[in-house]
Structure 1
Amino acid sequence: MKLRSWLFRVALIYCASLLLFSIFEWAELNRQAELPVLPSNHHAKQEILNATIPPAVSTAASRYIFGRTDNKWVRIAYTSFQVLVFSAYLDLRSSDSGMGKTPAVRLPIIMESKHKDEWLKESMFVCYFPQLNASVNAHLYEQCENHDQRYGSFIANCFVDISWTENLSSVQLRPSKSADRDGHHEIVISKSLVVKERPPFNTTVCVHSPIFGHAYSSEYIVRYVELTRLLGAEHFIFYIASGSARRFEDQRLLGVLRYYEASGLATIVDFGLPIDRPSDIWYHGQSSAVQDCIYRSVGSTNFLVLTDLDEFIVPLASVNWNTMFQQIWANRPNATGFHVQPLYFNYPQWKKRAEFAPFIHFETTESGSPFFRLLTKCVVKPERVFEMGIHHISKQFHNYFSNEQLDKSIARLHHYKSRQSMDSSDSLRVNTIMLRYKNDFGLRVHKVLYKYL
């Protein structure tokens, strides 16, 4: 009896150990499947290191396609309140929606919101053009997402005669009552907005939230760029808040961005705001960054995707963006753009993970909250946009253009978000669509990480 009991225990322990070993082996296989590794063969490894990612255009050419990038925020002199100007664009588009049928110089500005009524009533500012020794009134347009903060985002519109346009290279925004021509900073016109039938790029991504401080690592930026390129991106516009108050914790992050810039794949815009308290303006001046990005993209790209670094527009009925965008605009030729509905990936630590798992995480959420369903992101034809919101197209350039909601069967916005912030009525499900990019993704990431980091 004792022998039988002893044999039974031995058999039980043996079976348990086999089961435990199988579990560990299964976990290891899955871990290896999730994290591509470089081949041990030296020749194969060298092939990967030597393989370069071909830029869509030459490095030298790409630096000017999206306008000047040496802009700095300038404070307007002789004013009783703070007005900041970042850039200026000569807009040669004509509009039938109240935005002017004549050319205009448009300046994205940030100012103390409580003074907007004074500007509107009194035409407080003018655009002075030193090349012509001429000035016109600056008409103020308030952007839609200032959220009652102390500082808000606006557009100063200065309408000019078409005969002026060939000679305009810079502009001064100055108080209309100031006779003093000294002490005013000239804003160099970054770019002329001209619609082109065949722009240099087909699809560009605007990462419209300024990158700052501690939010992302250099490795994460590489993974974001390479996965987004697999989806169909040809070029990226990054806004960075690199002022002294927001130094990057990961010093390699800026280096990675410059690496992509040198490859002709990215345009880097230093957007560090000279505002002491970040809480005085909505999300680091995001609205002004979005508007600046729209202007930069006119005539430079067919399609502009506007997302954050934790978001990916994933095609479902097509393999990549190029096919999808051609199809949806063929069906809606007058569309300014499409709103893509979100699908949330609940992954609290996704930003800190070094492996591939964050982008193929299976547990997704169909939000039950009406608020979260409204947080769409957009793909647009930039030349058709007058004002761009964060989650919607605020105003199209012509009345006959339309804003469309993209059907959920065509594409979804994958948004990586902590589950704690989701609604309790959300339903959890499994999603494996990103697995189709897995192998190519691993090779691309290793090319950059081993070459640069």
Structure 2
Amino acid sequence: ESNLNFVFFLSHLHRLLLSEQTITPIINTKHLMISAYKDHRLSGRTRIIGIMRRDELQSLYCIFCCQHSCSLGYTAYTYMHSDHFGYPFVTTDVLCKYQPLRNATHVTISTHASITENQDQRFIPIRNKESTAMFPYNFTICISNLFGDYNNVLQFVQTMEMYKLLGVQRVVIYNTSCGPELERVLLHYKHEGTLEIVQWPIDHFLKPSAGWNFPEHPGDLHYYGQLATLNECIYRNMYQTKYLLLNDLDEIIMPYKHANLQQMMEKLEQENPGVGVFVVMNHVFPKTQFDDSGRFKVPQWQNIPGINILEHIYREPSRDSVYNPTKLLINPREVEQTSVHSVLKAWTSAVTVDPEVCRIVHVRGPLQGSLTKEQLLVDKRLWDFELIAKVDKVLQNVGLLI
């Protein structure tokens, strides 16, 4: 303890190797660092989000640096998230409970307490240095992850434009790979200022699975690191947005009794004071069932890759005996850890939203494929919005519509 305030000055600043990458290996381990954030809810301690091999945890140290000096290493406390779906690697929080440099700008995790033994160790920036109660955005969406050269352009553009009509101002996507047409669309929304693209080359470091079930989809890590990106997105947007929506690319968290998300949240918060996690139930609209009228069979979209969600107005009925994979609408400052369908740790309670108020419109392959069209429920909520002209404009801007 006598060395608590000891720091040493770097004789050559270039010895401090900085990483601006989304994924940074921890030297002499199989573990990865993702990002570091000051957690003002925990007296300003530094939280490092990582991905670690569950059966190879070892003693680790936090080392802090500022412009001219670095600290000795102090014990890093590793907390594995409870959800890992049986995969060898798990999302982790590493808490640095002591920070000897008040003005530290960068931090790393090391297997040694001295930086002199780790000259190749990369340091990552510490974000969220200041807390605020005023946010640039009201609604932000976290979407994870794009992989496998995903190229469902039409559904993506329709979903983005729908969210903008609902009051979403910003979308964050973690991108491993996507198709060439979708790449052009992503760049359009990035230049527009709506989309933040976080490069996510997880396949350069681990063998990710393309599913959630370990026996069926083997690999090192669940679903291209979906759990890590969702948690990273919460902290990335902690002081950027009032509300955060955690859902997939083919899902729309849709208000049914209100014109937009703002009106819905005002009512939900009024009815549920102190609640910071709102759980929204999933409802499947099978892409195999089409509206018979052909009203939204738009000719100019025929050669655009992807699904036209406006043609799919038939919804599968809920089944009480089958688990409904819910998604989340949260106050990010009230959440510490999340899984895909539920929050793992929070400073708040959670409520499930009545599906008559809000439900997920999920256009995808059927889950109840044996049902006939007559056994499905007609749901034309998507038709309440003027989408065609907005979608056409985007497709024209990216050169997919002549």
1:136 to 64, 69, 74: 74
> What is the identity, as a one-letter code, of the residue corresponding to 1:378?
L
Alignment partner of 1:252 is 2:181 = yes
Distance 1:314 1:405 in 2: 14
What 5-or-longer segments of structure 2 have no aligned partner? 1-18, 209-218, 291-300
Alignment partner of 1:211 is 2:146 = yes
Deviations along 1:129-168, one digit per CA (max 9) or x if unpaired, are 123424321111111321111221111111235x844x12
Asked whether the 8 Å contact 2:156–2:250 carries over to 1, the reply is no
Q: Where in structure 2 are the equivalents of 1:142-221 lying within 5 Å?
A: 142-161=80-99, 164-165=101-102, 167-176=103-112, 180-192=117-129, 194=131, 196-207=132-143, 209-221=144-156
Asked whether the 8 Å contact 1:363–1:429 carries over to 2, the reply is yes
Matched residue of 2:162: which SS? helix
Distance 1:428 1:394 in 2: 34
Asked whether the 8 Å contact 1:143–1:287 carries over to 2, the reply is no
| More deviation, 82-91/126-135 | 126-135
The offset of 1:424, in angstroms, is 5.9
Distance 2:321 2:256 in 1: 23
Distance 1:255 1:298 in 2: 29
Asked whether the 8 Å contact 1:342–1:376 carries over to 2, the reply is yes
Matched residue of 1:154: which SS? strand
Distance 2:199 2:127 in 1: 14
Partner in structure 2 of residue 240 of structure 1: 175
Alignment partner of 1:85 is 2:23 = no
Which fold has the larger relative contact order, with Cα–Cα distance below 8 Å and residues 6 or more apart in sequence?
A: 1
**Could you say if the C-alpha distance between residues 431 and 86 of structure 1 is closer, same or farther in structure 2, counting changes exceeding 3 Å?**
same
Matched residue of 2:161: which SS? helix
Distance 1:447 1:425 in 2: 37
| Count of residue correspondences | 353
**Could you say if the C-alpha distance between residues 70 and 322 of structure 1 is closer, same or farther in structure 2, counting changes exceeding 3 Å?**
farther
Q: Where in structure 2 are the equivalents of 1:242-281 lying within 5 Å?
A: 242=177, 248=178, 250-273=179-202, 274-278=204-208, 279-281=219-221
> What is the identity, as a one-letter code, of the residue corresponding to 2:146?
I
Asked whether the 8 Å contact 1:153–1:287 carries over to 2, the reply is yes
Asked whether the 8 Å contact 2:73–2:113 carries over to 1, the reply is no
| TM-score, structure 1 normalization | 0.72
The offset of 1:84, in angstroms, is 0.8
Q: Where in structure 2 are the equivalents of 1:45-124 lying within 5 Å?
A: 70-79=20-29, 82-94=30-42, 102-116=43-57, 119=58, 124=59
Partner in structure 1 of residue 390 of structure 2: 444
Asked whether the 8 Å contact 1:77–1:183 carries over to 2, the reply is yes
Deviations along 1:268-306, one digit per CA (max 9) or x if unpaired, are 101111235222210000000001000011111011111
**Could you say if the C-alpha distance between residues 365 and 341 of structure 1 is closer, same or farther in structure 2, counting changes exceeding 3 Å?**
same
The offset of 1:191, in angstroms, is 3.3
**Could you say if the C-alpha distance between residues 216 and 370 of structure 1 is closer, same or farther in structure 2, counting changes exceeding 3 Å?**
farther
Distance 1:356 1:176 in 2: 52
Distance 2:314 2:73 in 1: 58
Distance 1:258 1:357 in 2: 21
Distance 1:228 1:319 in 2: 12
The offset of 1:252, in angstroms, is 3.0
Partner in structure 1 of residue 238 of structure 2: 298
Higher helix fraction (1 or 2):
1
| TM-score, structure 2 normalization | 0.81
The offset of 1:417, in angstroms, is 2.5
**Could you say if the C-alpha distance between residues 316 and 193 of structure 1 is closer, same or farther in structure 2, counting changes exceeding 3 Å?**
farther
Partner in structure 1 of residue 309 of structure 2: 358
Partner in structure 2 of residue 321 of structure 1: 261
Asked whether the 8 Å contact 1:91–1:193 carries over to 2, the reply is no
> What is the identity, as a one-letter code, of the residue corresponding to 2:126?
I
Asked whether the 8 Å contact 1:369–1:423 carries over to 2, the reply is no
The offset of 1:213, in angstroms, is 2.8
RMSD of Structure 2 on Structure 1 (CA): 2.6
Deviations along 1:305-350, one digit per CA (max 9) or x if unpaired, are 1110111111111011011011111222211210011111111499
Distance 1:431 1:408 in 2: 12
Identity %: 24
Deviations along 1:206-233, one digit per CA (max 9) or x if unpaired, are 11x2102333333432222111211221
Matched residue of 2:316: which SS? strand
Asked whether the 8 Å contact 2:277–2:329 carries over to 1, the reply is yes
Deviations along 1:214-267, one digit per CA (max 9) or x if unpaired, are 33333432222111211221110011014xxxxx3x213223212211211111
Matched residue of 1:192: which SS? coil
> What is the identity, as a one-letter code, of the residue corresponding to 2:326?
T
Asked whether the 8 Å contact 1:367–1:423 carries over to 2, the reply is no
Asked whether the 8 Å contact 1:93–1:193 carries over to 2, the reply is no
Structure having the higher Rg: 1
2:157 to 217, 222, 239: 222
Partner in structure 1 of residue 326 of structure 2: 376
1:311 to 224, 232, 251: 251
Deviations along 1:354-398, one digit per CA (max 9) or x if unpaired, are 48842351211123264442x1011001011001110011111x3
Distance 2:256 2:154 in 1: 27
Distance 1:352 1:385 in 2: 43
